[in-house]
Amino acid sequence: MSRTILEPDEIRRALTRVAHEVLERNGGADGLVLIGLHTRGVPLARRLENLIEQFERSSTPVGELDIGFYRDDISLARRPMKPTDIPVSIEGRVVVLVDDVLFTGRTIRAAMDALNDFGRPKEIHLAVLVDRGHRQLPIRPDYVGKNVPTSLDEDVQVMLSEIDGADEVRLSSGEQV
Amino acid sequence: MTQARPVEEDSDLAQANSPTLSRRHHILDLDDFTRDEITEVLDNTAAMAGVLKRDIRKVPALRGKTVITLFHEASTRTRVSFEQAGKVLSADVINVTGSGTSVEKGESLYNTALTLQAMNADIIVVRHPDAGAPHFLARHLNSSVINAGDGTHAHPTQALLDLYTLRSRLGRLEGLKVAIVGDILHSRVARSNLWGLTAVGAKVVLCGPPTLMPIDLVNGERTAEGHPFAAIRTETSVERAIEGADAVMVLRIQSERQRGGFLPSLREYSRMYGINAKRMELAKPEALVMHPGPMNEGVEIDSEVAHGPRSVIEEQVANGVAVRMALMFGIITPALVPARSRN
Amino acid sequence: MSEGETIIIKGGRVVDPGQNLDMTADVVLADGVVKGIYGRRRTRESGTVIDATGLVVSPGFIDLHCHLREPGFEYKETIASGTLAAARGGFTAVCAMPNTNPVMDSRAGVDFVLERARSEGFVKVMAIGAVTRGSLGKQLSDMGELAQAGVVGFSDDGHPVSDDNLMRQALSYSTSLGLPIINHCEALDLSDGGDMNEGWVSNRLGLKGISNSAEEAMVARDILLAETTGGRLHIAHASTAGTVEMVRRAKERGLSVTCEATPHHLTLGHEAVLGHRGDGGQFSPLTLAAYETNAKVAPPLRSQEDVGALVRGLADGTVDFIATDHAPHATTEKVSTFSEAVNGISVLETALGSLMTLVHEGNLPLPVLIERLTAAPANFLGVGLGSLKTGGPADVTIFDPNAEWVVDSTKFVSKGKNTPLDGAKLKGRVVATIVGGAVRYDARESGSAG
């Protein structure tokens, strides 16, 4: 049983708001770098970059990060590795990690570990499209598209046109996947 | 009875297929690798190559894991390659060289295996002069076993790095014409490459003197109807073998072959089969020259060709570390650590 | 049960090729000899009755080629354990090969073995003397003395007699003794360094192979030398189609050339080294069962063509009889890589079961199989064994040709557990073995011997 919790327009508006929040907190786009976490964090990061460019008329570097090496749960099956490409030095910059769903927080912890191997950023912020709760680590998002309270046997699926052909966020319950 | 579902942090995993490599406990040869699995390894190798280009060449993927390299045959190059691969992944790498000492003391491989078992290694990388030694260790130990070369039987990591080199330089694998030239009979590199290249749809030509060609490939004993190996050509003329090739894999000729009566002399071999610039003109203009190393320059390959513009021999060595990283990362733990529920 | 007792084996299918018998009958044994075979008449003797309904009753099997390892290699096998295994396999007489330590190249060595066998053996034991001193292939042993000590033939088995001239002299000298030279035919230059048969399996496994020609080159030589000298040549453990063909032609020319084949060479091919039992094609991936050291034997297991030729040769008599080449080894000597492992298979306890495959698959009639295990080796040896004729020794084997069982090497009474058949399902099993009128093995008592 599943239902849509974010329609394409709602996604668009949420991202617009997030982009504004980022610019507001950072006082503009200077010194920012957006880093999307594979897989769907990457197109989200690029969309944010487009929005920021619309608003501020300046481009922001965008990187992609695969946290596969840094997971603390190697025992689970893994998907093939995607490229990690961070085009600028993160030294002294404000890094905004971008992901689609924030859940236990372990992915973000792994991402911060990975960033460590690239340098020492001035600050690390976290932007997510959906926060579904159930943190297992002391991780909190700075920018949230939508808060969606869920139970543990529910599943949040984010679909983006760049990867899945259309934009939608669905919540399913029961024996999914 | 409901089983607690492991909480899947990464939404991708929920939607992706489980990669086949993680279901594998050992890497013994390429004879049971599908085309998809090889593709997966090569993709992961590319990611590993990315890590090797970073300033800080270290990732914590294998932190706390123990890798033992057990080399009963002298080999600096391969052993160092595995050692580096393990260390970049943050594994603890222990090198056990058995060449000479254990054999002199008369310690059997079985006794060595018992000692290794006590060390509880996660991965054992083994190179041994006896074919089947990795299978023997895999039967008797809980650790994952990676074959770094067993006698004349197999050398899967070499074949995979050869495939990676071909793919990264030529952009594809299917339909490539690859000539393997040299002592085919005694070559584990040739054998493993045969499996790998046929799995990915390349066309293979084996070339060498008749005394160094496996008898069943020569007398047609092996051709099962419709099997990819049926398409393997054998040639005793190196010119015919190289003609139109996309890549020439040159195998090392060991001086023992002359003593064993397989060859009249190394000089004769060089004249009849040596890969020189003139012969390479018969291959395609962009054809690659490969060699698993170490080379006998002047015997199986001319220095001019070995260090020439078409040679990717050094690249092969560099790619070796990335491939071995991908394999170690790929087989670690799924078979050893039960998935823990995180609820 | 003691030797003098009367035993009545009732209602079995009595197959005695030596007397051209194949009928349901009772066999009566008394005082260590066969009293008679009775078809319809009700026996009036009283004694121990063995109900052989549904079973086959045959003369006791004779094994011309067996390694009992004692003296010198008692950790692999002793005369006691080896002959117990023989009894369990239905063999009532075995010939002990001389590659003990010291080698049986003198009267003292032979006397030791025969005496040991008399006091501790469970079946009859004959000795084969070495062709050369120490089996080193340099100087002939005192073959005359060995003959007087009672050897039934000469062999350096384990090694070939490589020196052409020495082989000629051995064959020549043996003519005065009327005893055969049993050669392990292997041209060492051709087989050097090889671990298994040369073919697609050895290439698949990356192992150095031993080609058929390594055996055939020496078989050809030996046949020529036999012709020149008039000596009796016997080819041990023939393994190739070429060998069978050469022996066939030698016999057609009237030469005194015979050969034997082992149960494993008659039923297993080189695929056994791959570990799985024949399933999967030529290019199936190797499993962890590959490099099966229990399939490592000299001469090696060969191709299916060779196996077929041996079976046909056995059927038409070109292969004169079956001999086990029982070669027990300590387990540690086989738990190793293939190259490290020693050659040899422990055969006695699975011989009948594996040979019955040939009968069940229709490739060999049962009476022919029995003939090749009984009358044929007996004729070769020139000893009065191998038949159930009245007054002859009460050596009898009773077996169930259809009993299905799974081989469990841990249950072998032989010290050698080295068999590639471990876990295999066989159809045909020994029920009882009687030697000289005494029951030496009775399966119904869980294998206890008399």
Mean pLDDT of C103-126: 97
Say yes or no for a CB contact (<8 Å) between C199 and B216: yes
Chain B nearest C-alpha distance from A50 (Å): 24
The answer to whether domain A7-151 has CATH 3.90.320.10 is no
Say yes or no for a CB contact (<8 Å) between C199 and B215: yes
For residues C29 and C434, is the Cβ–Cβ distance under 8 A? yes
Interface test with B, best of A74, A91, A116 (most B CBs within 10 A): A74
Inform me whether the C-beta atom of residue A83 falls under 8 Å from chain B C-beta atoms: yes
Interface test with B, best of C286, C337, C340, C342 (most B CBs within 10 A): C337
In sequence order, which residues have a C-beta less than 8 Å from that of residue B274 and are 6 or more positions away?
A: B298, B299, B300, B301, B302
More confident residue, B119 or B224: B119
For the cut 60, the answer to whether the pLDDT of residue C277 exceeds it is no
Q: What domains lie within chain B, and their CATH numbers?
A: 19-152+320-331 (3.40.50.1370), 156-318 (3.40.50.1370)
pLDDT score of B2 = 42
Instruction: Based on the fold, state whether residues C180 and C307 are members of the same structural domain.
Output: yes
pLDDT score of A74 = 55
Q: How confident is the model at residue B226 (pLDDT cuts 50, 70, 90)?
A: low
CB C330: neighbour CB atoms within 10 A? 16
Mean pLDDT of B212-241: 74
Angstrom distance (rounded) from CA B307 to CA B284: 18
3-state secondary structure of C335: coil
Q: How confident is the model at residue B17 (pLDDT cuts 50, 70, 90)?
A: very low
Instruction: Based on the fold, state whether residues C324 and C424 are members of the same structural domain.
Output: no
Q: CA nearest A177 in B: which residue?
A: B14
The domain ranges of chain A are: 7-151
Interface list for B 239-298 with A (CB within 8 A): none
Helix (H) or strand (E) holding C30: strand C21-30
Q: Catalytic: which of C26, C105, C325, C442?
A: C325
Instruction: Based on the fold, state whether residues C40 and C122 are members of the same structural domain.
Output: no
pLDDT score of B301 = 96
* Beta partners for residue A159, in sequence order: A168
pLDDT score of C110 = 97
Chain B nearest C-alpha distance from A49 (Å): 22
Helix (H) or strand (E) holding C378: helix C375-381
Angstrom distance (rounded) from CA C68 to CA C124: 13
Q: Which amino acid is at A131?
A: D
Q: Which residues of A touch B6 (CB under 8 A)?
A: 76
For the cut 90, the answer to whether the pLDDT of residue B227 exceeds it is no
In sequence order, which residues have a C-beta less than 8 Å from that of residue C282 and are 6 or more positions away?
A: B222, B224, B227, C200, C204
Domain assignment of residue C438, yes or no: yes
Q: Which residues of A touch B48 (CB under 8 A)?
A: 81
Helix (H) or strand (E) holding B244: none
pLDDT score of C280 = 56
Interface test with A, best of B2, B7, B8, B9 (most A CBs within 10 A): B9
Q: How confident is the model at residue C2 (pLDDT cuts 50, 70, 90)?
A: low
For the cut 50, the answer to whether the pLDDT of residue B339 exceeds it is no
- Which of C198, C206, C211 is closest, CB to CB, to B154? C206
Q: Which amino acid is at C179?
A: L
Instruction: Based on the fold, state whether residues C199 and C95 are members of the same structural domain.
Output: yes
Angstrom distance (rounded) from CA C185 to CA C191: 11
Of the residues C329, C360, C381, the one at which a domain ends: C381
The pLDDT tens digits for B250-283 are 999 988 777 788 898 999 999 999 999 999 999 9
Inform me whether the C-beta atom of residue B57 falls under 8 Å from chain A C-beta atoms: no
Q: How confident is the model at residue B4 (pLDDT cuts 50, 70, 90)?
A: very low
pLDDT score of B220 = 54
Cα C391–Cα C396–Cα C401 angle in degrees, nearest 5: 145
Instruction: Based on the fold, state whether residues C368 and C438 are members of the same structural domain.
Output: no
Query: What average pLDDT does chain B have?
Result: 85
Chain B nearest C-alpha distance from C255 (Å): 34
Domain assignment of residue C248, yes or no: yes
Q: Which amino acid is at C389?
A: K
For the cut 80, the answer to whether the pLDDT of residue B224 exceeds it is no
Q: Which residues of B touch A85 (CB under 8 A)?
A: 50
Residue listed under structure tokens 């030589």:
C221
Instruction: Based on the fold, state whether residues C346 and C402 are members of the same structural domain.
Output: no
**pTM of the full structure:** 0.87
Interior/surface letters B239-272, b for 16+ CB within 10 angstroms, e for the rest: eebbbebbbbbbbbbbeebbeeebbeebeebbee
Residue listed under structure tokens 């090797």:
B52
- Residue C130 belongs to domain spanning: 60-381
Angstrom distance (rounded) from CA A60 to CA A83: 20
Of B168, B176, B73, B180, nearest to B125 (Cα)?
Answer: B73
pLDDT score of B11 = 54
Of C146, C192, C139, nearest to C167 (Cα)?
Answer: C139
Mean pLDDT of C310-326: 98
For the cut 80, the answer to whether the pLDDT of residue B20 exceeds it is no
In sequence order, which residues have a C-beta less than 8 Å from that of residue B141 and are 6 or more positions away?
A: B113, B116, B117, B124
Inform me whether the C-beta atom of residue A10 falls under 8 Å from chain B C-beta atoms: no
Number of domains observed in the structure of chain C: 2
Helix (H) or strand (E) holding B260: none
More confident residue, B99 or C30: C30
Dihedral (Cα; C352, C358, C362, C366), 10-degree rounding: -30
pLDDT score of B1 = 41
Identify the CATH number of the domain in which residue C307 sits: 3.20.20.140
Q: How far is CA B285 from CA A49, B202, B289, B309, in A?
A: 44, 18, 11, 11
Instruction: Based on the fold, state whether residues C22 and C167 are members of the same structural domain.
Output: no
Q: Which residues of B touch C282 (CB under 8 A)?
A: 222, 224, 227
> Is C63 considered catalytic here?
no
Interface list for C 195-254 with B (CB within 8 A): 198-200, 203, 205-209, 211
Helix and strand numbers, DSSP H then E, in chain A: 4, 8
A: neighbours with 3+ CB pairs under 8 Å?
B
Q: Which residues of A touch B123 (CB under 8 A)?
A: none
For the cut 60, the answer to whether the pLDDT of residue C28 exceeds it is yes
The pLDDT tens digits for C360-371 are 999 999 999 999
- Which of B132, B222, B229 is closest, CB to CB, to C290? B132
Helix (H) or strand (E) holding B124: strand B123-128
The side-by-side arrangement of strands in the sheet containing C233-235 is: C154-155, C181-183, C233-235, C257-261, C321-322
Q: Which residues of A touch B17 (CB under 8 A)?
A: 79
pLDDT score of C450 = 30
pLDDT score of A33 = 97
Q: How confident is the model at residue B115 (pLDDT cuts 50, 70, 90)?
A: confident
Inform me whether the C-beta atom of residue B342 falls under 8 Å from chain A C-beta atoms: yes
- Which of C200, C281, C338 is closest, CB to CB, to B131? C338
Helix (H) or strand (E) holding C199: none
Q: Which residues of B touch C211 (CB under 8 A)?
A: 215
In sequence order, which residues have a C-beta less than 8 Å from that of residue C406 and are 6 or more positions away?
A: C423, C424, C425, C426
Of C67, A27, A75, nearest to B337 (Cα)?
Answer: A75
pLDDT score of B61 = 87
Identify the CATH number of the domain in which residue C37 sits: 2.30.40.10
Instruction: Based on the fold, state whether residues C369 and C440 are members of the same structural domain.
Output: no
pLDDT score of B215 = 74
More confident residue, B113 or C433: C433
For the cut 70, the answer to whether the pLDDT of residue C447 exceeds it is no
Mean pLDDT of C47-74: 96
Say yes or no for a CB contact (<8 Å) between B47 and A82: yes
Angstrom distance (rounded) from CA B130 to CA B313: 27
For the cut 90, the answer to whether the pLDDT of residue C160 exceeds it is yes
Of B160, B163, B132, B183, nearest to B247 (Cα)?
Answer: B163
Instruction: Based on the fold, state whether residues C334 and C430 are members of the same structural domain.
Output: no
Say yes or no for a CB contact (<8 Å) between C283 and B128: no
- Which of B7, B19, B48 is closest, CB to CB, to A79? B19
Chain B nearest C-alpha distance from A77 (Å): 6
Q: What is the separation of C-alpha B239 from the centre of its chain, rounded to a whole number of angstroms? A: 26
Most confident of B12-21, C44-53, C56-65: C56-65
For residues B262 and B256, is the Cβ–Cβ distance under 8 A? no
Mean pLDDT of C49-76: 97
Q: Which residues of A touch B340 (CB under 8 A)?
A: 73, 75
Q: How confident is the model at residue B124 (pLDDT cuts 50, 70, 90)?
A: very high
For residues C174 and C225, is the Cβ–Cβ distance under 8 A? no
Establish whether the linkage from the previous residue to A87 is cis, with ω within 30° of 0: no
Angstrom distance (rounded) from CA C185 to CA C216: 8
The pLDDT tens digits for C233-242 are 999 999 999 9
- Which of B136, B222, B229 is closest, CB to CB, to C337? B136
Query: What average pLDDT does chain C have?
Result: 94
- Which of B128, B139, B216 is closest, CB to CB, to C203? B216
For the cut 70, the answer to whether the pLDDT of residue C3 exceeds it is no
Q: Provide the number of CB pairs (under 8 Å) joining chain B to chain C.
A: 82
For the cut 50, the answer to whether the pLDDT of residue B336 exceeds it is no
Instruction: Based on the fold, state whether residues C434 and C333 are members of the same structural domain.
Output: no
Instruction: Based on the fold, state whether residues C191 and C259 are members of the same structural domain.
Output: yes
Residue listed under structure tokens 């006691």:
C80
The side-by-side arrangement of strands in the sheet containing B66-71 is: B92-97, B66-71, B123-128, B144-150
Helix (H) or strand (E) holding C395: none
Residue listed under structure tokens 């055996």:
C215
Say yes or no for a CB contact (<8 Å) between C336 and B152: no
> Phi, psi at residue C154, to the nearest 5°?
-130, 140
pLDDT score of C383 = 87
The pLDDT tens digits for C105-116 are 999 999 999 999
Residue ranges of chain A whose pLDDT lies below 50: 75, 77, 176-177
For residues B61 and B89, is the Cβ–Cβ distance under 8 A? yes
Q: How far is CA C299 from CA A27, C185, C232, in A?
A: 86, 9, 22
B: neighbours with 3+ CB pairs under 8 Å?
A, C
Domain assignment of residue C387, yes or no: no
More confident residue, B224 or C104: C104
Domain assignment of residue C373, yes or no: yes
Q: Which residues of A touch B122 (CB under 8 A)?
A: none
Of C365, C375, C309, C296, nearest to C64 (Cα)?
Answer: C375
Domain assignment of residue C194, yes or no: yes
Q: How confident is the model at residue B7 (pLDDT cuts 50, 70, 90)?
A: low
Inform me whether the C-beta atom of residue C336 falls under 8 Å from chain B C-beta atoms: yes
Angstrom distance (rounded) from CA C432 to CA C397: 6
Instruction: Based on the fold, state whether residues C173 and C44 are members of the same structural domain.
Output: no
